Amino acid sequence: MDISNINWLAVVVTTVAYFALGAIWYGPLFGKAWQRGVGLSDEELKNANMGKLFGSALILSFVVSFGMAMFFYGFGENPDMNATMGAMMGLMTGLFFIIPTTALNYNFARKGAGLIMIDSLYHTIAFTIIGIILGVWK
- Reported as a single tens digit per residue, the pLDDT across 22-49 is 999 999 999 999 999 999 999 999 999 9
Q: Does residue 78 carry a pLDDT above 90?
A: no
pLDDT band at 90 (very low <50, low <70, confident <90, very high): very high
pLDDT more than 90, % of the chain? 90
pLDDT tens profile 7-24: 999 999 999 999 999 999
Q: Which residues fall within 8 angstroms of residue 93, CB to CB, at 6 or more apart?
A: 68, 124, 127, 131
Q: Does residue 62 carry a pLDDT above 90?
A: yes
pLDDT at 1: 79
pLDDT at 58: 97
Q: Does residue 4 carry a pLDDT above 90?
A: no
